[in-house]
Amino acid sequence: MKNYHYPHSDLADELDRLREAHLYRALRTLASPQGPQPLIDGRRMLAFCSNDYLGLANHPQVIAAFKRGADTYGVGSGASHLVTGHSVAHQALEEDLADFTGRARALLFSSGYLANLGVTSALTGRADQVFEDRLNHASLLDGARLSRARLRRYAHADPLILASMLDGDKARIVATDGVFSMDGNLAPVPALVPIARRADAWLLVDDAHGLGVLGEEGRGSLAHWGLGPEQVPILVGTLGKAFGTAGAFVAGSRELIETLIQRARSYIYTTAPPPAIAAATRESLRIAQRESCRRERLQTLIRRFRAGAAELDLPLLDSATPIQPLIAGTARQALAWSRQLEAFGILVSAIRPPTVPEGSARLRITFSAAHTVEDIDRLLETLGSLRCEAPETQAAAVC
C-alpha cells in the first residue's frame, strides 16, 4: 500500500517565501489589560497600535457591567440568535444602538467581518453588481466576492471615477469605509450619496473607525458629514474599537433588519456573542456619549503628534483621525522601523502587503484617549532617531 504524502513541504516552502519577502506575520501575547503600556511577550511597552481609541477596553465601569452581565446571564450564549441565544441584554443593546445611530433598528453580529459578509450576501446575487472603494476593508471586499455578485472597485476616494463607471449602469450596493483603517482618511460620503441614488443602489458605510471618535457624541463619520438614514441607508459599525468590547452591528430600516434576520447566513448560523459583552457595551456606549473630553483629548494628541512629525519631516499621510500612517515604502523598511522602535520600548506594528498596496508598507500609528502628552513626545523623540534600511552593501542612512 502506497503511503499518502501530505504536502507539508509545500506549506513550509510558502512560509519560507513569506519570511524572505519580509511578509511573515508573528503572533504576540498580551498578558495585561489593553492600555497605553500593555505587557506584551513578557515586556512592558508603550504601545501605539491598538484600536481602543477612547480608552474604554479597561474602564472600571465597563468591567463592572461585564461582571454583572456574567452573573446574570452566564458566560456563553449557548446558541445562535434565532434559536435560544438572543438575550434581553442583546435586545437592549440593539435598541440603544438604533437610538444612537438614529435608525429604526439595529442587528448584532459576532464580528465586523461577519456583519459585512451578512449584509452583502443577503442583498445581492449573481445578477448584481457591487461597487467598492479600492481601499475598503477586506471584509467588505470579501462580502462582495462571497455573495457571487460582480465586484467592481473604483479608485480610492474618487467619486468622479465611480460616477463614470456607473454611467448608464446599475448597481445593487455602493460600499465604502467611513474612515479607512490603514490610511486614516474619511471617505467622501456626501459626494457618493447622489451617485448611489442615480444608480438606484444601496449606499453602505462601514464606520468601524469613525463611531465613538467623530461627530456629536461620537456618532461617527455620518454625523460628522451631517448625513442620516435617508442618505446612507446601511450603516455597519464595530464594538471592539472605540467602544472597547467586541462584536458588530448593522443599523437601518425595519425592512432591512428583518431581511438580514431571514437571509444573512453569517447571522443565522453563528453563535450569538456572550450576553455579558452586550451588557458591557451598553455601559461603554453611555460613557462614549457623555464624556466628550475623550474625543477632545484625542484631537489634542493628534494635533501635537502631527505638528511634531512635520518638524521632523516624517512621511505621514494626511489624517485627522487617531490612525496616523507613517509610510516606509517597502516591507523590509517597515519591519526595520518597527524593530528599531521596539528596541526603545515602543510598540508600533508594521503593516505590509497584502493589507496595503505594494510600495506603501507603513507603520500604522494609532492613539488612544488614554495616552498622555508625554507619551506622544516620547514617540516623536524616538521617531526622530529612525534610520532607513539601505542595501546590504551600504551603510544605513538617517531618515
Q: What pLDDT, on a 0 to 100 scale, did the predictor assign at position 391?
A: 46
Q: Quickly tell me which residue has 498596496 as its cell.
A: 357
Name the nearest CA neighbour of 123 among 147, 139, 154.
Answer: 147
Q: What is the pLDDT of residue 151?
A: 96
Give the structural domain span for 370.
24-54+292-398
Neighbours of 107 (CB within 10 A): 24
338 is a catalytic site residue: no
Give domain status of residue 50, yes or no: yes
* Options 209, 221, 368, 371, the catalytic residue: 209
Of the residues 50, 181, 221, 338, only one is catalytic, namely 181
Q: Are residues 387 and 269 in the same domain?
A: no
Q: Does residue 310 sit in helix, strand or coil?
A: helix
Measured between alpha carbons, how far is 24 from 355 in angstroms, rounded to an integer? 12
Question: 1 lies in a domain?
Answer: no
CATH number at residue 332: 3.90.1150.10
Tell me, yes or no, whether 211 and 84 share the same domain.
yes
Order of all β-strands in the sheet with 350-351: 323-329, 361-366, 350-351
Residue 9: band (very low, low, confident or very high) from pLDDT cuts 50, 70, 90: confident
Cβ atoms 118, 81 nearer than 8 A: no
Cα separations in angstroms, 237 against 110, 177, 316, 375: 12, 10, 26, 29
| pLDDT band, very low/low/confident/very high, at 395 (cuts 50, 70, 90) | very low
pTM: 0.93
The pLDDT value recorded for residue 48 is 98
181 is a catalytic site residue: yes
pLDDT in tens, 23-44: 988 899 989 999 999 999 999 9
Q: Where are the alpha helices (DSSP H) in the chain?
A: 8-20, 60-73, 88-101, 112-123, 138-147, 159-166, 189-198, 221-225, 254-263, 265-268, 275-290, 292-311, 331-343, 373-383
Looking at the structure, tell me whether residues 166 and 37 fall in a common domain.
Answer: no
Joined grid coordinates for residue 182: 490603514
273 and 303 inside one domain: no
Q: pLDDT tens digits, residue range 103-140?
A: 999 999 999 999 999 999 999 999 999 999 999 999 99
Of 258, 290, 322, the residue that ends a domain is 290
Residue 84 is classified by DSSP as: I
Determine if the peptide bond prior to 354 is cis (ω within 30°).
yes
Lowest mean pLDDT among 50-64, 94-108, 123-137, 376-390: 376-390
Name the band, by pLDDT with cuts 50, 70 and 90, for residue 389: low
Q: 3 falls in which pLDDT band (50, 70, 90)?
A: low
| Same structural domain, 200 and 326 | no
Q: Is 224 a catalytic residue?
A: no
Question: What does the mean pLDDT of the chain come to?
Answer: 94
Residue 17 placed within a domain: no
Q: pLDDT value at position 394?
A: 33
pLDDT at 55: 98
137 CB burial (10 A radius; 0-12, 13-18, 19+): buried
User: How many residues does the structure list for the chain?
Assistant: 399
List pLDDT tens digits, range 305-322.
999 999 999 999 999 999
Same domain, 229 and 308: no
Query: How high is the pLDDT of residue 5?
Result: 60
Of the listed ranges 3-7, 78-82, 172-176, 241-245, the least confidently predicted one is: 3-7
Check whether residue 250 and residue 323 sit in a common domain.
Answer: no
- Residue 398 pLDDT greater than 50, yes or no: no
Domain boundary among 250, 270, 290: 290
Of 260, 290, 320, the position where a domain reaches its end is: 290
Q: How many CB atoms lie within 10 A of CB 266?
A: 22
> pLDDT at position 6, please?
66
CATH of the domain at 123: 3.40.640.10
Tell me: do 390 and 273 sit in the same domain. Answer: no
Q: Name the catalytic one among 81, 86, 90, 241.
A: 241
